[in-house]
Amino acid sequence: MAQAIVIKSTGKQYLVRTDAGIISCSLRGKLKQIGFKSTNPVAVGDVVDFDFDKNSEFGVITKIQPRKNKIVRRSTNLSRYAHILAANIDYAVLVATVKNPKTYPEFIDRFIAGAEQSNIEPIIIFNKIDILDKDELTELNSLTEMYEKIGFKVFQISVLQSLNINIFDEIIADKIIMLSGNSGVGKSSLVNRLNEKLDLKTSEISESYGGGKHTTTFAEMHQVGKGWVIDTPGIKGYGLTDFKPEDVATYFREFREVSKRCKYNNCSHTHEPGCAVKSAVDSGEIHASRYKSYISILNDNEEDKYRLDAYR
């Protein structure tokens, strides 16, 4: 028996990194059915025990070690199943773009809420700043300012022009970070830039609808300097899993202090009189787009009320 870290999972085959190199493994049958309803019982970043078969050069994963954390999303809006994007990560990095494709603020907020729920520090990276005109730069700067004011780390980069790429030196050192975001924002291009030995597949944005082509199909962990970066397939949206409505406000960092001033301490910040969060939205202290994202996540929960137990 030995221990390894999962660096890629296709659902059938798992690549694990060991002291002796990278080994392809299968999964012991009974591990496929573990409590939590997930489309992938073993995720990139998992620490696993495995048995190595010298004759076949393959291994069998026999145990998944307890996870420090995991980033999970509902696999589709109506699904009972969750998909684990990555496990045991130090930062959840959202790669976003103002244009080609456009990342919507609600998407950013849902990503942040998921990271907060998992107690993983989110970082927001705006890529492709090289293609923005004056108005788009204004939009970029106001988004940056809004998220920085809340207390998040936000960076503006261009992979194409190697602008600000050195910010990653510090972020990645001795860490495992996960990159996520819409298809076509430049996640794989960024990983290629960070480690010039890699040649991950990338492709142009589709001209007809301005979106990405879902080029990366499986999450995979790559070495970058002294750390590790998990490149993931582009996604359209985040559905949160396993949350109680009363917890959602705590996933919005700037609501936490303000909500202490609400008249009712179980205030949902929706219809109650004397709600300090709503007053803060009216006064501009809390950004209206953040409040809108909060309401949107609450509504997901209403639609799926009967499903909540499926995740416990």
Ligand X SMILES: Nc1nc2c(ncn2[C@@H]2O[C@H](COP(=O)(O)OP(=O)(O)OP(=O)(O)O)[C@@H](O)[C@H]2O)c(=O)[nH]1
- Judge residue 142's burial from the number of C-beta atoms within 10 Å of its C-beta, 0-12 exposed, 13-18 middle, 19 or more buried: exposed
C-alpha span between 173 and 171 (Å, rounded): 6
The size of the interface with Zn ion (CB under 5 A), counted in residues, is: 5
241: CB partners within 8 A, 6+ apart: 72, 73, 74, 82, 311
Q: Which does 269 bind (CB under 5 to 8 A by kind): Zn ion, ligand X, Mg ion, none?
A: Zn ion
Minimal distance, residue 230 CB to Mg ion, in Å? 12
C-alpha span between 174 and 226 (Å, rounded): 5
* Residue of the chain from 93, 185, 240, 262 that contacts ligand X (CB under 6 A): 185
C-alpha span between 209 and 36 (Å, rounded): 37
Pair 70, 84: CB distance under 8 Å: yes
* Residue of the chain from 275, 281, 286, 297 that contacts Zn ion (CB under 5 A): 275
Minimal distance, residue 280 CB to Zn ion, in Å? 9
* Residue of the chain from 75, 103, 117, 183 that contacts ligand X (CB under 6 A): 183
Binding mask 98-137 for ligand X (x = CB under 6 A): -----------------------------xx-xx------
* Residue of the chain from 61, 123, 154, 267 that contacts Zn ion (CB under 5 A): 267
Q: Which helix or strand (DSSP H or E) is residue 73 part of? A: strand 70-74
Minimal distance, residue 45 CB to Zn ion, in Å? 36
Q: Is 241 in the site for Mg ion (CB under 5 A)?
A: no
Pair 211, 184: CB distance under 8 Å: yes
Residues 168-227 that bind Mg ion (CB under 5 A): 187-188, 215-216
In this structure, the chain runs to a length of 312
Residues contributing to the site for ligand X (CB under 6 A): 127-128, 130-131, 158-160, 183-189, 202-205, 212-216, 233-234
Residues contributing to the site for Mg ion (CB under 5 A): 187-188, 215-216
